[in-house]
Chain A
Amino acid sequence: MTNKNSLTQKSMSLYPAKTKMQVTIIFFVVLGIYIFSMYKTQEQMVGGFSGALGNMYVVIEKFFPPNFAILSAIWNSMLETIKMAIIATSIAGILTVPLAVLSAQNITTFKPLYYLTRTLLNLLRTIPDLVLAVIFVGLFGVGIFPGILALTVFSLGILAKLISETIESVDMNPLEAMRASGGNVFQVIWYSLVPQVAPQFTSLVLYVFEINIRASVVLGMVGAGGIGLVLNQQLKFYNYPNAMTIIIVIFATVLIIEFISNKLREALL
């Protein structure tokens, strides 16, 4: 009785006091880290910008005009990069299906299995793509194969995570209906889960494909094949006009692919 009275008198808060306290503490800790890191970077950036402006002129002078005579020669490497991205995205797209299902809490109700796949995927995602490439190049030598492997592992980490989150947000009602009509696990998934995630799945695979095109350029620079490898060679020989042509080709390719993939994704959702 007295308890009730004191609650109404104090004008009840929307959140429990404990939650409020926790949120406040987290807020100040984050703010503190933010201010500290701003201060530290400022110290190191002294003179950074003015120096960069001066360098800019030198760089532009060296890189221009680009040497378009090599266009036909680099075309193959560009195609190789695109192929790497396509193969890696496809393999990852297939492998991601079981992994995403197993790491979705609403489908994999057997907790140990769920935690196992979750942890595996988290580990996978902590390894940067560049490190993967260096490892695979070390193992298999310079070429397109280690590049594909690195990209596959890299995109598997992202895809499985994003797709398992899509799976966790589906409407569970139709799944219950399929289970109630005697369907087995595969039938339940195929009939009521797949239709719900298919558009998102395709859209995410296309998105990862875009990322892979860009990533494969970078990976090429550490020996994983494709246009990145050629770019790296030209830069090493100080052949800046050639390098510039390659950069322009990459730029154009990425733009075109992003445009196509964006149009496809718009049509899907």
Chain B
Amino acid sequence: MIEFKNVGLVYPNGTEGLKNINVKINDGEFVVIVGLSGAGKSTFIRSINRLVTPTSGSLLVDSEDILTYKGKNLRKLRTKVGMIFQNYNLVKRTNVFKNVLAGRLGHTGTLRSIFNLYSKEDKALAYGNLNRVNIAEKLYNRADELSGGQQQRVSIARVLTQKPKYILADEPVASLDPPTSHQVMTYLRKINKEDNITTIVNLHFIDMAMEYADRIIGMRAGEVVFDGPVSEVTEKTFEEIYGRSIREDDLRGGAQE
């Protein structure tokens, strides 16, 4: 369980990224965060694995306050909380298999990982996860030889190889075309249900949020302005979150029928 208690974050330049956030995310949920650009979605998500550090309040992951974590504790938290990025963040000159095995870094000693001494189980795990996202045939291709959608699938395999309890995804489909976006979201959703991994995704497409989320959190100017199950959400809700009427470009389109 993840629990934000009066969490606030002020960036060094004075910008308030988060303002008094109180949110509880239960195990196994698929939560989508929506909000306009600059609303604080990335700041929210990146607080959970401490890529940014909130400046007030407390943030509990499995009932431990992670805001005090340093060094080893922090790395342990990060092995438990996997992350997927908008730009896939693969090492472009390295092959797919090694990119996926990098998901084991947090579980592997420094020397073992430097000399590529991964156990048979780790390799089998990595290969199995590539299979799960249907990209195993690209095993020895360099990451930069893959399309955007394929790279994002590799990054999903990488995060799975980490065996996380939580997955954070910061705009995972913002650089993809509509059909590929749906494919990636379908994988994320499937993994969430099959492995019971709590998943938090930032999206700015309303239709996608409605299609994949169990629960939607709306943010505006660093504050949570809506939080509820997807069944309670209407177009009106989005208009309130966005503070304006819904437009064509708030929709991804191309939903799979």
- A residues engaging B (CB < 8 A)? 171, 173-174, 176-184, 186-187, 190-192, 195-196
Contact = CB atoms under 8 A, between A and B. Distances in A.
Contact of B89 (A174, A182, A183, A184): A174
Nearest to A176: B89
A180 B113 contact: no
17 contacts: A174-B89, A174-B90, A177-B83, A177-B85, A180-B49, A181-B79, A181-B83, A182-B75, A182-B78, A182-B106, A183-B75, A183-B105, A184-B75, A184-B105, A187-B105, A192-B91, A195-B94
Given A181-B158, A183-B102, 20 more contacts: A173-B85, A174-B92, A177-B155, A180-B51, A180-B83, A181-B79, A181-B82, A181-B105, A181-B106, A181-B159, A182-B76, A182-B105, A186-B114, A187-B113, A191-B102, A191-B105, A192-B102, A195-B94, A196-B91, A196-B93
A147 B162 CA distance: 51
A177 B90 contact: yes
B56 interface: no
B74 to A, nearest CB: 8
Contacts of A190: 113-114
Nearest to B142: A195
- B: interface residue count bin: 20 to 34
B257 to A, nearest CB: 34
A179 B90 contact: no
B87 interface: yes
Contacts of A178: 102, 105
A170 to B, nearest CB: 10
A266 to B, nearest CB: 17
Contacts of B114: 186-187, 190
